[in-house]
């Protein structure tokens, strides 16, 4: 029977069945606690006036039984699709992990009661059960116009970065006067001439994997907006660090003789770097852009996005592959003597911290609202791009294209065949 409909006599019977008969008069006769009130009791209610149960052990044991009733009631109402689920959500949250359990039940209930039309053969959806342990966002508007703005943002930042790379190239210290700085890793690692190309091939593999994830992910526009926002912010910070201090070249194999006579020559070189994505495989060779490593930023950011937006249970092998590629990519950057160890370390640290900070705020609406004023000042892009997201973006996948008409077959045609 539904606990919320229990009378005082039924609560008394329940107390006796669980060896709390000594408190029947206190709870049922003196304070008229029925089933509905029982579900709202907390440990403080039992400790304080007017109830004030004197024995601590009895308080703890009774509270455990009440919590079990609270959770069972919330679970039952969730499964039945009853409107009373929210009424008992707070009651089920008295214990630290009971809120987690109640959320799981509600999430599973939503999944079980989804309209069948949303799971048609033309648009199949695969649920990622990993996301049931958090609060799923209730507003998953793709906001394509914001995604376009984020693309313009990262496009502008890449142009600025390319121009800054031209400037720092001219400011790089003379190798004859300023030899490579001491570096623990580079001093003990022989120069490998093909290593940097291998690192860029690893980057291409990660980009391909990320494009596949985007193609099938249901919320691809939100994911793209987050990637563009984070990548643009990190590279904008990189522009500042490159301009502040000019480090000497990390390897004697680097040739940094080129100078650009006028503004037009600098602009032409800027376009060459931008169109070649700063990659050696595209024939782009630069100097002076050391603090911090842009290649490390790219492969690390791609690794984290692929790991975040694929299921940890179903695609654990993909996560292993991306982490192995990430670590080997960093190793090959150092083996090629294209960056100092500090360049790679700082790039990895900044990229991972910013990614985690962004997603911690995005996945926790309460934290986002608490820090809203500071966020608007220190992280305005986040406040703008995530204004409608109020929780975790679930990993749901779909076939994004409509099936060609000739592949569809009407029922009458099937009957004829």
115: left (phi > 0), else alpha (psi -120 to 50), else beta?
beta
* Catalytic residue flag (residue 343): yes
Is residue 55 helix, strand or coil? Answer: coil
Catalytic position from the list 169, 337, 339, 359: 339
Where are the domain boundaries for CATH 1.10.150.50 in the chain? Answer: 3-113
Taking CA 248 as the corner, what is the angle to CA 279 and CA 261, rounded to the nearest 5 degrees? 65
Q: Yes or no: say if 138 and 393 are a contact pair by the CB < 8 Å rule.
A: no
Tell me if residue 201 falls in helix, strand or coil. Answer: helix
3-state secondary structure of 413: helix
Range of lowest pLDDT (132-136, 159-163, 185-189, 305-309): 132-136
Place of tokens 């690794």: 303
User: Is 90 a catalytic site residue?
Assistant: no
Q: For residue range 283-295, what is the model confidence (pLDDT) as tens digits?
A: 888 888 898 999 9
The residue ranking higher by pLDDT, 78 or 56, is 56
> Which 8-state DSSP code applies to residue 309?
T
Q: Is the dihedral of CA 313, 317, 318, 320 positive or negative?
A: positive
pLDDT at 91: 44
pLDDT in tens, 118-146: 444 444 444 444 444 446 666 788 889 99
Choose, from 169, 219, 295, 337, the residue flagged as catalytic: 295
Q: In the CATH scheme, what is the homologous superfamily, with its name and number, of domain 3-113?
A: Transcription Factor, Ets-1 (1.10.150.50)
Mean pLDDT throughout 53-58? 84
pLDDT at 354 over 90: yes
311: confidence class by pLDDT, cuts 50, 70, 90:
confident
Q: Across-strand partners of 392?
A: 136
Q: Is 31 a catalytic residue?
A: no
Model confidence at 108: pLDDT above 80: no
- The pTM of the full predicted model, rounded to 2 decimals, is 0.66
Q: Compute the average pLDDT of residues 204-228.
A: 94
pLDDT at 149 over 90: yes
């Amino acid at each position: 029977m539904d606990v919320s409909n229990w009378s005082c006599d039924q609560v008394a019977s329940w107390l006796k069945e669980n060896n709390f008969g000594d408190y029947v008069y206190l709870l049922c006769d003196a304070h008229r606690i029925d089933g509905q009130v029982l579900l709202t009791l907390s440990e403080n209610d039992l400790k304080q006036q007017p109830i004030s149960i004197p024995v601590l052990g009895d308080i703890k044991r009774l509270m455990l039984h009440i919590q079990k009733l609270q959770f069972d009631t919330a679970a039952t109402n969730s499964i039945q699709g009853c409107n009373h689920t929210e009424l008992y959500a707070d009651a089920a949250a008295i214990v630290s992990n009971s809120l987690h359990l109640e959320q799981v039940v509600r999430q599973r209930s939503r999944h079980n009661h989804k309209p069948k039309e949303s799971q048609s053969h033309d648009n199949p959806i695969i649920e990622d059960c990993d996301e049931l342990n958090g609060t799923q966002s209730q507003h998953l508007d793709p906001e394509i116009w914001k995604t376009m703005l984020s693309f313009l943002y990262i496009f502008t930042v890449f142009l600025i970065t390319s121009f800054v790379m031209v400037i720092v190239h001219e400011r790089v210290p003379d190798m004859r006067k300023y030899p490579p700085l001491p570096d623990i890793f580079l001093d003990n690692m022989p120069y490998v001439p093909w290593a940097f190309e291998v690192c860029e091939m690893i980057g291409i593999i990660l980009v391909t994997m990320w494009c596949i994830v985007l193609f099938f992910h249901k919320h691809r526009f939100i994911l793209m907006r987050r990637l563009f926002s984070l990548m643009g912010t990190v590279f904008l910070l990189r522009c500042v660090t490159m301009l502040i201090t000019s480090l000497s070249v990390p390897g004697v194999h680097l040739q940094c003789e080129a100078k650009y006579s006028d503004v037009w020559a600098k602009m032409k070189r800027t376009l060459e770097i931008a169109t070649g994505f700063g990659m050696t495989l595209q024939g782009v060779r630069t100097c002076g852009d050391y603090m911090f490593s842009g290649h490390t930023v790219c492969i690390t950011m791609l690794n984290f996005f692929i790991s975040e937006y694929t299921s940890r249970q179903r695609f654990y092998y993909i996560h292993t592959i991306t982490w192995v590629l990430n670590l080997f990519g960093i190793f090959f950057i150092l083996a090629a003597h294209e960056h100092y160890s500090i360049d790679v370390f700082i790039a990895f640290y900044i990229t991972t911290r910013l990614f985690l900070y962004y997603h911690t705020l995005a996945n926790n609406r309460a934290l986002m609202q608490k820090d809203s004023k500071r966020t608007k000042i220190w992280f305005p892009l986040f406040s703008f791009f995530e204004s409608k997201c109020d929780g975790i973006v679930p990993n749901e996948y779909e076939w994004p294209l409509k099936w060609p008409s000739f592949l569809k077959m009407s029922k009458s045609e099937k009957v004829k065949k």
